[in-house]
Amino acid sequence: MAHIHYSVAPHDGGWAYRLGDVFSEPYPTRAAALTAARRVAAEQRIPGDTTLIEFEDEHGVWHIEKSDPLDRPEADVIA
């Protein structure tokens, strides 16, 4: 099972949560971004539907995989 960590950082004139190098939309305060990050981390644990996902890897190659609705990552927020 994957474990992902969201963090909060200054971004685009405000604050944002991020996962790796990807930032959310900006929030006016750090507290608002932290609240949003905690909500998103909690949503990661909710099972979904079996579906096909399509994504591009770092080499520009596209992949299609079946997403198991119970294969959810462990997610947390580093405050």
The pTM of the full predicted model, rounded to 2 decimals, is 0.71
Domain boundaries, the chain: 3-78
Distances (CA, A) of 73 to 4, 29, 45, 70: 7, 27, 7, 9
Q: What is the pLDDT of residues 23-69, one digit of tens each?
A: 999 999 999 999 999 999 999 888 878 888 898 999 999 999 987 77
| DSSP H helices in 1-79 | 30-43
Say what the pLDDT of residue 49 is.
Answer: 82
Confidence grade of residue 1 (pLDDT, cut at 50, 70, 90): low
- Beta-carbon contacts of 50 under 8 Å, excluding residues fewer than 6 positions away, are 66, 67, 68, 69
